[in-house]
Amino acid sequence: MKPLDPRPDEPLQIGVDLGTAYLVLVVLDQNRQPLAGEYQFAQVVRDGLVLDFVGAVDRLSKMKQRVEQRLGRELTHAASGYPPGVPQVEVRATGNVLEAAGLRCTGLVDEPTAANALLGLRDGVIVDVGGGTTGIAILREGQVVYTADEPTGGTHFSLVIAGAHDISFEAAEAMKIDPTQQTRLFPIIRPVMEKVASIVARHIAVYRTQSGYSVDQIVLVGGTAKFPGIAGVVEEYTGVPAAVPDRPLFVTPLGIAMHDQVS
């Protein structure tokens, strides 16, 4: 990440991802390079629906203030995203969170399209394994031609860990993201990974039946995609090569920022 020294008049692009598990704010410079950002665990949204409007605004406002202090300038606008299939009234609620936190909402983009702004996938499948749901977007010639979004994500990983170890959800969440624990946790959460994989395989089959086309690559993004081994499970179930980019949690937020229509 470049030093935090933007010119006072340098146009910035800002993205806010109100995820089920994490709230992410990222800032890009005029060359679309990451400049600053912040993320934190937050359960104010579920499956794209804003459940705690006041909490979401409060957390985002404080994150905005901290990033402004590091940058030495005010953040005035941002884009945000939403999972496929979310009702438009809830999409608007996402924009209202930004506005209430002091950010003019310049755009709302579906998460698969946002992710592909960074990935540049021409043909294949983007699987966004978030906190509460798994979102699937199939691309052909660079265009999203099929989308789906179903329950099962990182929250379910944590619930299984909590049940297996008889601990709180918060303690299970901490274990899940601890690299020293992940090898021994893999057998416990593999069935949930298999559920994710089965969702992906089923939608690929539906698309193939509807269109007559097959897919030849899968890219997994979202915070849950960080867990070691998930790409192998998805590849095993689908028969399609699967990969995880570096820092998958930030792929969609960075793509959202690229849709911030700076005026």
Which range (19-23, 107-111, 148-152, 186-190) has the least confidence? 19-23
pLDDT at residue 59 greater than cutoff 70: yes
Task: Name the token pair of 96.
Answer: 């209202």
d(CA 10, CA 111): 27
pLDDT tens digits, 180-229: 999 999 999 999 999 999 999 999 999 999 999 999 999 999 989 999 99
**How many whole angstroms separate alpha carbon 71 and alpha carbon 69?**
5
pLDDT tens column, 115-125: 999 999 999 99
The amino acid at 260? D
The CATH number given to 13-110+250-257 is 3.30.420.40
Architecture of domain 115-154+188-248: 2-Layer Sandwich (3.30)
- With a cut of 80, say whether residue 85 has pLDDT above it: no
For the stretch 137-151, pLDDT in tens is 999 998 889 988 888
- Establish whether domains 13-110+250-257 and 115-154+188-248 are of one fold: yes
Amino acid letter, 94: T
Count Cα neighbours of 137 within 13 Å in the Cβ-side half-sphere: 26
Q: Is 7 exposed, middle or buried (0-12, 13-18, 19+ CB in 10 A)?
A: exposed
Q: Locate the domains of the chain by residue range.
A: 13-110+250-257, 115-154+188-248
pLDDT reported for residue 87: 76
| % of the chain beyond a pLDDT of 90 | 64
Q: Is the pLDDT of residue 132 over 60?
A: yes
